[in-house]
Amino acid sequence: MARLAIVLLVLLGMLQYRLWFGNNALKDHWQLKADIGRIQKQNAELKKRNDLMFAEVKDLRHGLSAVEERARNELGLIRDGETFYRVLSPQDQTENGSTKHND
pLDDT, tens digit, 9 for 90 and up, residues 88-99 = 888 876 766 655
Residue 96 has what pLDDT?
A: 63
CA distance 43 to 81: 47
Regions in the chain scoring below 50 on pLDDT: 100-103
Our separate counts of H helices and E strands in the chain read 4, 0
Residue 98 has what pLDDT?
A: 54
Residue 95 has what pLDDT?
A: 67
pTM for the structure as a whole: 0.45
